[in-house]
A and B are shown apart, each in its own frame.
Chain A
Amino acid sequence: MSTTAVHTNEHIGHDDAHDHEHHELNFVEKYIFSTDHKTIAKQFLITGIIWALIGGGLSIIFRLQLGFPDMNLEWLRPILGKWITSTGQIDSEFYLALVTMHGTIMVFFVLTAGLSGTFSNFLIPLQIGARDMASGFLNMLSYWFFFVSGVVMFISFFIETGPASAGWTVYPPLSALPTAMQGSGLGMTLWLVAMVFFIVSSLLGGINYVTTVINLRTQGMSFFRLPLTIWAFFLTAVIGILSFPVLFSAALLLVFDRSFGTSFYLSDIYIGGEALPNVGGSPILYQHLFWFLGHPEVYIVILPALGITSEVIATNSRKPIFGYKAMILSLLGITILSFVVWAHHMFVSGLSPFLGSIFMFLTLIIAVPSAVKAFNYLTTLWRGNIIFTPAMLFSIGLVSFFISGGLTGIFLGNSAVDINLHDTYFVVAHFHLVMGSASFFGMMAGIYHWFPKMFGRMMNDKLGYIHFWLTFVGVYLVFFPLHYIGMAGFPRRYYSFTNFDAFQDFTDLNTFVSVAAIITFSAQFIFLFNFFYNIFRGRKAPANPWGSNTLEWTTPRVPGHGNWEGDIPKVYRWPYDYSKPGAPEDFIPQHIPLTETPESNLPHEVEQLKEEGIEVKAANAGKS
């Protein structure tokens, strides 16, 4: 581990340099253009929370339309202006803008940037024992590119023709032709610009995470001693680096088609009273490119949440995570397989049926590692000594959603069954449970768990419990009924169902879902209060509030720049020595040497010590 040593020194040197100019660290450097990974993490988090509120708010508006189609929404005119029609309804095209922006914001801004950006940044250096990211500067750029992306996306709400409206997947030709819908005009251009900034941000972040994990691990922190959080963040970053460039190319070709008269995606089109000159393009090409990112993207969203959950469940069950190696293998399996299943989103797109068969096989294979993860979580709980912190509750909620939503994936992955389910509410139910809610709960678990380390104070548990139960029950009440609506064939992205005999039913269920959504959304304000109030007024956090093994809890209450005062701790063991037989406490942190714990060392550890020729006896003697 000579590299580590070198880097460590470098960082210490860097710190010194920093100290000299310390008096010049003004507000801007400290809180705005900061290069400290912890500050950047908080920037991502707060920005993510704001976007979650916006994205959630949009969904409430369109749920009003679906649940109460006759309601007079005149009172929304102050916010929505001309998008409210003269009869007090939402404009049917603006409805599509709402679902498009909701999807884009939630998937990219909240669950990608908000989740990976926050926790990869915050935890990677702290848990692997590094003073900061490999490049603090790129890290800062990563946040600011994200910020700009958000600004551009936000601006698109206020333009005459409205924001992009072709669905979060923005399939051309709909998204390519301003004559096809208003949102495909300037709004779509802004969407593409925003996404380009976002992709740059993701890549800068991802490269940094990967480099940091590979190069800056502290002494003794081998890959197989990494907490599963780090494994998850690492592989997420790898997926992002490999797939986002493809989205970039998809977007670029779309820009060409939109603005420079090329025909990558366009062919044989008659619209707005004229035949377009484009021939030879293929809309399916776009779908391939998009889903080549799009499917990995859903794992980019869920893997960090699964990593966080592994950590939280092990800690609060007071048990090692069950099957650490199997967890890593399944993460690896998911990472690799996630690149070869994309066309399951295209079974009825006109894709060659032969390809459909191939992708069906590959898709159902990916269910295996997902199942392994679920079983391993369950076994970790088995015979634990479970402490229900809010973080633990949210983690258990995640497992519940991941199972419920994962199982419906088995229907959809079967191309024959998908014929009738594609683009119905069944798919909406599937991905909101397995991706949206599961990963949102992972994010919540992370916030409750690491709040003490982020802000040095505790959040209120009781409010956390109330927040959890309202949200957990609420999410099920919102998304479970959608399965029924989907089985009845209700198409997604419909402004209203009144035009069809087949879809006259379920107005009651739709109203119910909307009410549940409003309650669930409102419950998030409990969280907001708990979060912001306790940043300033919370009880001061003890050094290791959850009795956790990982390195971040060895830092000062509020770690400064460089994370550890003095030397970085070395690592002597894996992170899951919970309730080890013989140990006096029910946890042994990673930085405690085996030599200090002779009473609980396992046979192979004793063996290992012998091999390394470490003077066990001496240490033993010293200890006892």
Chain B
Amino acid sequence: MFNAVVIIGLILVAIILFTLFRVSTLVDVLKGNSKKKVTKSNGVNAGLGIVFLIGGLLLFFIYSYTEFDRYNLPLASEHGAVTDQLFWVTMAITGIVFVITQILLFGFGWKYRYKEGNQALFYPDNNKLEMMWTIVPAIVLTLLIFSGWRAWVSITDKAPDEAEVVEVMGYQFAWSVRYPGKDKQLGDFDFRLIDAENAMGMDFKDKASFDDFIPREIHVPKGKPVKFNIRARDVIHSVYAPHFRLQMNAVPGMPTTFWFTPTKSTQDMREETGNPEFNYELVCNKICGKGHFAMRYLIVVDEPADYYKWYNEQQAWLAKNPSYLSSVPQHLKEVAIISSGMENNPEVQAVTGLEEEEEMVGAF
């Protein structure tokens, strides 16, 4: 039914257009319009330009004003304040240029539309004018570049030493996140060590790996610098968190980093947006295959105290996957057991045969 209506509508439109076309051709022939320089359409087109200009600008202003909260994502990072400001300064400058030039374009079109007997001004050049509009944009752009450059340099500068380090790894089609654990040292990794469980290729020949933990969501402390160490294990992905104005590609074979300071906890943001379900999200923003649109990960910004509490409660990956103790070199096994916190886990002890060892030790 719906389809039929659409088809009939289309046919009607086509017929109307064709009739218009025939009529206009005939009229042209009758009036001998082909010899006249312009027809009435000239004024109509010029006028439509003005209608378009006014209508378009109105729509632009009204929509930009009334829907501001929809397209302006709330901001939650320190550097984001700087880049947002740059964005809006650029918006102000380009907005003015945009409005003026469009007004001139369609305004001139209307004002200088063809009139019988008028003559256009022979005005081939004016060096002063041209110098002016080369130099003025150059200066304005220089100012923009300069402030942009300063922001860029500080954003891409080395992360502060005390920054919390989080490793983020993209793969088809999810994220894995690793924290350094109590020693604050991320252990080595190697893509050849990846398997179904050890998705991040953690290398247990490195002591620093033993206490690393892999949570289900990212937690970061509010007001403290956080450094993401970013990598990918199959194709390029991109770590994008729009609320933090944060983006960096995840490239296989070439680790990258991005550091930032969150300014609002998830709870703060829930209050600010009035949305009790609000969550920060990590998004993949580099085409990576079939599931590109579904690589979601949660980021939780905690008050620092909550964050440290959470941090200390996390169990090392090794402790959860004790079978990997077998890839720990013999002389480090003891260390691994202790620093992963495995000894407190009776199940683990059963699996690893830890108890027997200890018993034997006790027996002697």
Most chain A CB within a 10 A radius of its CB, from B86, B126, B290: B290
Contact of A364 among B109, B144, B247, B287 (CB under 8 A): B144
Interface-facing stretch out of A12-20, A38-46, A223-231, A460-468: A460-468
The 10 closest A-B pairs by CB, nearest first: A267-B253, A489-B242, A353-B156, A414-B148, A416-B151, A268-B253, A388-B45, A350-B256, A579-B120, A383-B121
Least CB distance, A136 to chain B, in whole angstroms: 35
Given the known interface contacts A420-B247, A505-B70, the answer about A317 and B120 at a Cβ–Cβ threshold of 8 Å is yes
Q: Is A242 an interface residue (CB 8 A)?
A: no
Specify the chain B residue showing the minimal Cβ separation from A326: B130
Q: Is the CB of A488 within 8 A of B71?
A: yes
Chain B residues with CB under 8 Å of A318's CB are 114, 119-120
Distance A267 CA – B93 CA, assembled complex (angstroms)? 44
Q: Is B353 an interface residue (CB 8 A)?
A: no
Chain B residues with CB under 8 Å of A49's CB are none
**12 pairs of residues in contact across A and B, judged by CB atoms under 8 Å:** A96-B289, A177-B235, A268-B253, A269-B233, A364-B141, A371-B133, A403-B101, A465-B44, A484-B71, A489-B240, A493-B292, A579-B122
Specify the chain A residue showing the minimal Cβ separation from B154: A416
Q: Is the CB of A174 within 8 A of B293?
A: no
Chain A residues with CB under 8 Å of B252's CB are 173, 266-269, 283
Q: Is B327 an interface residue (CB 8 A)?
A: no
Q: Is the CB of B191 within 8 A of A506?
A: no
Interface-facing stretch out of A80-88, A140-148, A274-282, A560-568: A274-282
Q: Is the CB of B288 within 8 A of A174?
A: yes
Interface-facing stretch out of B16-24, B216-224, B304-312, B313-321: B16-24
Q: Is B352 an interface residue (CB 8 A)?
A: no
Instruction: Add 16 more A-B contacts to A323-B126, A368-B137, A484-B64 (CB < 8 A).
Output: A96-B290, A171-B236, A180-B172, A181-B289, A364-B145, A371-B133, A403-B97, A415-B149, A420-B242, A420-B247, A469-B52, A491-B285, A491-B293, A502-B243, A502-B283, A576-B124
Q: Is the CB of B109 within 8 A of A416?
A: no
Interface-facing stretch out of A204-212, A253-261, A292-300, A392-400: A392-400
Q: Is A608 an interface residue (CB 8 A)?
A: no
Chain B proximity mask over A463-483: 1 for CB below 8 Å, otherwise 0: 101100100110010001000
Chain A residues with CB under 8 Å of B278's CB are 501
Q: Is A372 an interface residue (CB 8 A)?
A: yes
Least CB distance, A573 to chain B, in whole angstroms: 12
Chain A proximity mask over B207-239: 1 for CB below 8 Å, otherwise 0: 000000000000000000000000001111010
Distance A506 CA – B90 CA, assembled complex (angstroms)? 24
Q: Is B94 an interface residue (CB 8 A)?
A: yes
Least CB distance, A151 to chain B, in whole angstroms: 26
Chain A residues with CB under 8 Å of B80's CB are 420
Chain B proximity mask over A363-383: 1 for CB below 8 Å, otherwise 0: 011011001101110110111
Q: Is A336 an interface residue (CB 8 A)?
A: no
Specify the chain B residue showing the minimal Cβ separation from A422: B247
Least CB distance, B49 to chain A, in whole angstroms: 7
Interface residue range, chain A: 35 or more
Q: Name B's A-contacting residues (CB within 8 A).
A: 10, 17-18, 20-21, 24-25, 28, 34, 37-39, 41-42, 44-46, 48-49, 52, 56, 60, 63-64, 67, 70-73, 80, 82-83, 86-87, 90-91, 93-94, 97-98, 101-102, 104-106, 108-109, 112-115, 118-126, 129-130, 133-134, 137-138, 141-142, 144-145, 148-149, 151-153, 155-156, 171-172, 191-192, 194, 196, 201, 233-236, 238, 240, 242-243, 245-249, 251-254, 256, 277-279, 281, 283-294, 296
Chain A residues with CB under 8 Å of B243's CB are 502
Q: Is A284 an interface residue (CB 8 A)?
A: yes
Q: Is the CB of A410 within 8 A of B94?
A: yes
Chain A residues with CB under 8 Å of B106's CB are 396, 400
Distance A281 CA – B287 CA, assembled complex (angstroms)? 20
Least CB distance, A467 to chain B, in whole angstroms: 10
Least CB distance, B17 to chain A, in whole angstroms: 6
Q: Name A's B-contacting residues (CB within 8 A).
A: 92-93, 96, 166-167, 171, 173-174, 177, 180-181, 266-271, 273, 275, 279-284, 317-326, 348-350, 353, 356-357, 360-361, 364-365, 367-368, 371-372, 374-376, 378-379, 381-388, 393, 396, 399-400, 403-404, 407-408, 410-411, 414-417, 419-420, 422-424, 458, 460-463, 465-466, 469, 472-473, 476, 480, 484-485, 487-489, 491, 493-497, 499-502, 505-506, 522, 526, 529-530, 539, 542, 576, 578-581, 586
Least CB distance, A410 to chain B, in whole angstroms: 6
Least CB distance, A294 to chain B, in whole angstroms: 15
Distance A185 CA – B48 CA, assembled complex (angstroms)? 50
Q: Is the CB of B120 within 8 A of A419?
A: no
Contact of B120 among A269, A375, A384, A522 (CB under 8 A): A384
Q: Is the CB of B123 within 8 A of A319?
A: yes
Contact of A403 among B17, B102, B285 (CB under 8 A): B102
Least CB distance, B2 to chain A, in whole angstroms: 11
Distance A323 CA – B80 CA, assembled complex (angstroms)? 42
Least CB distance, B246 to chain A, in whole angstroms: 7
Q: Is the CB of B104 within 8 A of A378?
A: yes
Q: Is the CB of B119 within 8 A of A350?
A: no
Q: Is the CB of A382 within 8 A of B256?
A: no
Q: Is the CB of A462 within 8 A of B130?
A: no
Q: Is the CB of A283 within 8 A of B236?
A: yes
Least CB distance, A369 to chain B, in whole angstroms: 8
